[in-house]
A and B are shown apart, each in its own frame.
Chain A
Amino acid sequence: MLGWEFPPFISGGLGTACYGLTKAMSKLGLDVTFVLPRAIQMENPSTCVKMRTPADVNDGKTEWEICEEGLRNIKFKAIDSALRPYATSETYRHEVEEMIRNKQKLCGMDGGVVGMEEIGSQAHYSGDMYTEVHRYAASAVKLAMQEDFDVIHAHDWMTYPAGIAAAAASGKPLVVHVHSTEFDRSGEHVNQMIYDIERAGMHAADKVIAVSYLTRNIILSRYGVPGDKVEVVYNGIERNGNGFGCGKMDITRDEKIVLFLGRITMQKGPEYFLGAAKKVLEIMDNVKFVMAGSGDMMRRTIELAAELGIGSKILFTGFLRGEDVRKVYERADLYVMPSVSEPFGIAPLEALNHDVPVLISKQSGVSEVLTHVLKADFWDVNEIANKIIAVLKYPPLQMTLKEHGNFEVRKLKWEDAAEKCRQIYLQLIERAVCV
């Protein structure tokens, strides 16, 4: 399995999805080798998943194992690469240099997947992510030759070239898993390079997995992939840590909290959240709107809040993780996701998991699987506000949404997603044998 991020190195839903899916596959008894395009530098080693990095394993092998229960069948491999989803070229160059230094320390030992020569020969290029994607692909080929496996499963565009290359080298079937497309991230202003990579990946793949029918439609219409090749596998959610959720914070303030949690980018529709907030505040006063997250529209969003004259009612918390996320959910009366385009959207499931009712845009993949939630078109600020007010005003509504929503979310299991993937693998392997 070719991934892009994995806890604790996580900047969005993709890492969460890879983690959940891999763990569930392991439970099904599948052997998974998870390859990360990442120079592992443990910044934050105190999370539940413990990984050993090439630096502290002195034999220089870029392989480590997860100690966590439930991930027993999974091997992790890192291909030394400075690839990061949202890296700038500056941080990137810094990392490459760092990596070379590490490598030199290990020089002479049996060098892991990527030999010294390659690093040396390629370390001089000026460092943009696209070249890096291809360099990572080249490394993946080497790995593919060394490892024994049946199927290659690549998650999102950065790993597609690696997937294609590894499939070509090994002759094994390729499954490409689309968690989001360039159209979701950038609207109509697509980056042609990324689009081309995505398109090539989907066309080269033997099967494409989409996280929703919404995404499947984009794959069919925008990327021209034949429909019989694209299967939908919905994401799941892990039931975790809700046991101690019963001791909800004593809310003494008579103030309601409406929560936005996600990257503050065009894709997530922060301006519609603010527009609705403005409308809500026209009707009721005792409400605070919390925007948890960061992103390239952060500054503009703060300015917009001020322009609308509701600055004092909007709280920006920045990027939250772990315990802080749990706390903000515990305080929230309603979670709102006004995404303009959302291939799936795991966050609403997490909100429901924390007993927070949810209002999502109809333009999200997750709205295909959730029924006990409120839905509105992302642009319909009036309707979003109408529904926010209803939840804050009528406790029976909040109660019913919570009860049924929490029950419904329990039915979305990673085990089912993993099982569906396994069926797809089996199909592909069988087909390969027949041919």
Chain B
Amino acid sequence: MPSVCFYFQVHQPYRLRHYTVFDEDHRYFDTFKNRAICQKVANKCYLPTNRLILELIKRYEGKFRVAYSITGVLLEQLAEYAPEVMSTFDALARTGCVEFLAETYYHSLSFLYSRDEFKEQIIKHMDTIEHLFGQRPRIFRNTELIYSNELSEAIEQMGIFDGVITEGADKILGGRSPNFIYRPPQEGKVKLLLKNYALSDDIAFRFSNRGWCEWPLMAEKFSHWVNRVNGNGYVVNLFMDYETFGEHQWEDTGIFDFMRQLPDEIMKHPDNNFKTPSEVIKSYPATDVVNVPALISWADTERDLSAWLGNAMQSNALHELYRLEQRVKKTGDSSLLSDWRKMQSSDHFYYMCTKWFSDGDVHKYFNPYDSPYDSYINFMNVMGNLEKRCGKSHQGRQRAVKQLKAEVNS
């Protein structure tokens, strides 16, 4: 009776423009590039895939169901650069077959550096989702599926979530199957959904790889693999970047046709069905505890944080950024706060990663910089300007207060 649970991650950061130490204005972001990328991905992925999902939901009369986690920074950009995508998401929300998940609004690593900021961003994201799509998320996914016992504890304490999504990494499962529901070691109601990375990556990464022995992957074959779970698991969690469809795997690889045929093939087996994360958690009990003392993520083969925290530049940039938190917030300057928060997107630190750099890895595809060093320099130059603004606003406010006092006295 495996349920297939699709969750798609939808995110684009605000990329920084080339900002030198000589620049003094507050325009940090590359509007031209961000618009161009947003529109390109909208045309290649978001629009066609949303239409396909909508078509499938209608065809199967609600039996086909999926979940999305859309970051706040992408929602902002879509509203500005590709509003037609927003209306298709809206249409999806209205079907009642789509669940929206909660995450940090800015796709940030704030959990690691500031719990206050972490919670503020989650609430901001939930408010936005509720405002746009009329549902308040019940499931949380952290940036890059970064997770540890501490995270589930923090989420439990917030008291508003039923479950957390993370990676079904071998090192936390220790030979157990990711196809069951788990719970963290501490007491509470939060359950864990673990990504079935083998089957997820068959679609997300290997689908078009002609060197792969299973190529070409057809819906029928994939369903056969899902059926094998029958009797040995409740759910197959297929979690992936939404850009898999049309952007990472181009249309001519047949990815859309695969997806179009998949529900039919899956539901040929009478025990199978599709469920959203919340439905999965309601339907099945937690079978066991997973203990995750050290942080994990869904990145690379290491499944650790080294893509964002692997070198001195990355940790320095992150520390410098969060060091400014109080000063930024004290200014009460909303545009400064928004700029500072946009700088928190994990992508900025991913660009500074040196571990894959020499090998000319596929990661380069996602990187707007020539080198991790360029990305660090650019980031730090913007930080320098951001910090100046904190100081200035602070002094400016004091000056204003003094003036006011002087006026009152006179």
Contacts and interface: CB of A to CB of B under 8 A. Distances in A.
B87 interface: no
Interface in A380-435: 382-383, 385-387, 389-390, 393-394, 396-397, 399-401, 404, 408
Contact of A372 (B22, B354, B380, B381): B354
A268 interface: no
B154 interface: no
A52 B260 CA distance: 81
B350 interface: no
A397 B377 contact: yes
A221 interface: no
Tell me which of B315, B374, B377, B380 has the highest count of chain A C-beta atoms within 10 A of its own C-beta. B377
Interface string B346-376: 0000000010011000000000001111101
Contacts of A375: 370-371
A397 B312 CA distance: 7
Contact of B381 (A373, A390, A404, A408): A390
Contacts of A283: 21-22
A407 to B, nearest CB: 9
Give the bracket for the number of chain B residues in contact with chain A: 20 to 34
B22 A390 contact: no
A279 interface: yes
A390 B354 CA distance: 17
A397 B373 contact: yes
A383 B370 CA distance: 14
B20 A386 contact: yes
A404 B356 CA distance: 12
B311 interface: yes
Interface string B248-273: 00000000000000000000000000
A287 interface: no
Given A394-B316, A396-B313, A371 B357 contact: yes
Tell me which of B20, B22, B370, B373 has the highest count of chain A C-beta atoms within 10 A of its own C-beta. B373
Contact of A386 (B315, B371, B381): B381
Give the bracket for the number of chain A residues in contact with chain B: 20 to 34
Contacts of B358: 371-372, 404, 408
A400 B354 contact: yes
A401 B370 CA distance: 15
A279 B381 CA distance: 15
Interface in A337-379: 371-375
B182 to A, nearest CB: 38
Contacts of B380: 390, 393-394, 397
Interface in A171-217: none
Tell me which of A371, A382, A383, A385 has the highest count of chain B C-beta atoms within 10 A of its own C-beta. A371
Contacts of A390: 21, 376-377, 380-381
Secondary structure call for the B interface:
helix
Contacts of A401: 373
A400 B354 CA distance: 9
A400 B312 contact: yes
A400 B373 contact: yes
Interface string B53-72: 00000000000000000000
Contacts of B313: 394, 396-397, 400
Contacts of B370: 375
A63 B315 CA distance: 59
B312 A396 contact: yes
Contacts of B315: 396
Contacts of A383: 20
Contacts of A373: 373
Given A283-B21, A371-B358, A397-B313, A386 B377 contact: yes
A386 B21 contact: yes
B21 A389 contact: yes
Given A375-B371, A390-B377, A404 B21 contact: no
A279 B22 CA distance: 9
Contacts of B371: 371, 374-375
A404 B354 contact: yes
Contacts of A279: 22
Interface in B207-241: none
B16 to A, nearest CB: 14
Nearest to A370: B358
Nearest to B370: A375
A372 B355 CA distance: 11
B20 A382 contact: yes
A27 B197 CA distance: 49
Contact of A399 (B22, B312, B372, B381): B312
A283 B23 CA distance: 12
A195 to B, nearest CB: 34
A363 B311 CA distance: 28
A402 to B, nearest CB: 10
A364 to B, nearest CB: 15
Nearest to B315: A396
Contacts of A393: 380
A390 B311 CA distance: 17
Contacts of B20: 382-383, 386
A382 B22 contact: yes
A386 B354 contact: no
A404 B380 CA distance: 20
Interface in B366-405: 370-374, 376-377, 380-381
A245 to B, nearest CB: 20
A399 B316 CA distance: 11
A385 B354 CA distance: 23
Nearest to A407: B358
A46 to B, nearest CB: 40
A385 B21 CA distance: 9
Interface in B315-366: 315-316, 354, 357-358
A387 B377 contact: yes
Contacts of A387: 377
Given A382-B20, A390-B377, 9 more contacts: A279-B22, A283-B21, A372-B354, A374-B377, A386-B21, A386-B381, A390-B380, A397-B380, A400-B354
Interface of A: 279, 283, 371-375, 382-383, 385-387, 389-390, 393-394, 396-397, 399-401, 404, 408
28 contacts: A279-B22, A371-B357, A372-B354, A372-B357, A372-B358, A372-B373, A374-B371, A374-B374, A374-B377, A382-B22, A383-B20, A385-B21, A386-B381, A389-B21, A390-B376, A390-B380, A390-B381, A394-B313, A394-B377, A394-B380, A397-B376, A397-B377, A397-B380, A400-B311, A400-B313, A400-B372, A400-B376, A401-B373
- 3 tightest A-B contacts by CB? A396-B312, A396-B316, A386-B20
